[in-house]
Amino acid sequence: MEITLSDVEFSRFQRFIHEAAGIAMSDAKKSLVSSRLAGRVRARELPSFGDYFRLITSGGEAQEMQTAVDLLTTNETYFFREPKHFEFLHKLLSARAATSRPFRVWSAASSTGEEAFSTAMLLADRLGDQPWEIFGSDLSTRVVAKARTGHFSLERADLLPQEYLKKFCLKGTGPQQGTMLVTGELRARVRFEQVNLAQPLPDVGLFDVIFLRNVMIYFDKDTKSAVVARLLDALQPGGHFLIGHTETLHGINSTLESVATAIYRKPARP
């Protein structure tokens, strides 16, 4: 029997994902919610979406609640997405004076890891023996687990420089043809954790660059302001904050200095 999602049930899931992840889901997403959650309703042998909602909000099904969050969040990325940001980072690294302090980058909505590994390849190439660290985080435990494998379809690597593909990746053969695996040495330099940006952040230290790209489009204005404020507390004075090219900080934050399109700088301490 087909299970249908009523308007009342949909509104409950809208509130659920907003409270859980800060995501403002429009009414146009009703069919998406229905298609993504229907499998879980059947898997748990429940008669309705309403019963599934009660299950994940009962307090005793933390793993199923996380599964629902994973299913209701969108993760789309590829290597060296929005290349001008990586061109800027290349120039920033080239101009950096040698220091014993690690250069730290946070990919704050890292999805399956392509952004974090793109950055890692660039840092490994430009900094040589100088210390550096990459931290990748995402709301979805499913994509964090995927990111940790470092295993990707070659279709996601169209913008990956050939020299990086040869130096930092192993091309699959046989059953793995059409895929690539980031080398173990590089994977060991990138740490991935599940982090909900809509909640108080863990103590992860200070970063020189924070990527928050193509995620604010899912937040309402208040959530955007709160998320940006939290992340800026983790940005070094003089550090850079990068957002998606279709996003803006207008009306969200006025403390940052605009450097280039979708690139901002946190003022250095006087």
Structure tokens at 241: 């904050």
Question: Can you give the pLDDT at residue 270?
Answer: 58
Question: Can you give the pLDDT at residue 264?
Answer: 96
83 contacts 45 by C-beta, under 8 angstroms: no
Question: Can you give the pLDDT at residue 99?
Answer: 82
136 contacts 116 by C-beta, under 8 angstroms: yes
Question: Can you give the pLDDT at residue 106?
Answer: 98
Which residues are catalytic, by number? Answer: 36, 138
**Which residue stretches of 102-246 are H helix?**
114-127, 141-149, 162-168, 184-187, 221-233
Pairwise CA distance, residues 191 & 184, whole Å: 13
Pairwise CA distance, residues 141 & 57, whole Å: 18
Secondary structure (3-state) at 142: helix
Go through the domains of the chain in sequence order and give each one's CATH number: 7-72 (1.10.155.10), 83-265 (3.40.50.150)
166 contacts 135 by C-beta, under 8 angstroms: no
Structure tokens at 47: 């008669």
Name the packing angle between helices 62-72 and 30-43 (round to 10°).
150
Question: Can you give the pLDDT at residue 155?
Answer: 86
Write out the chain's pLDDT in tens, 270 residues. Answer: 678 999 999 999 999 988 888 888 888 889 889 988 999 999 999 999 999 999 999 888 888 998 888 888 766 788 999 999 999 999 999 888 778 899 999 999 999 999 999 999 999 999 988 999 999 999 988 899 999 999 999 888 888 999 999 999 999 889 999 999 999 999 999 999 999 999 999 999 999 999 999 888 888 899 999 999 999 999 999 999 999 988 889 889 989 999 999 999 999 875
CA dist list (Å): 68 to 59, 61, 146, 270 = 14, 11, 17, 46
Question: Can you give the pLDDT at residue 117?
Answer: 97
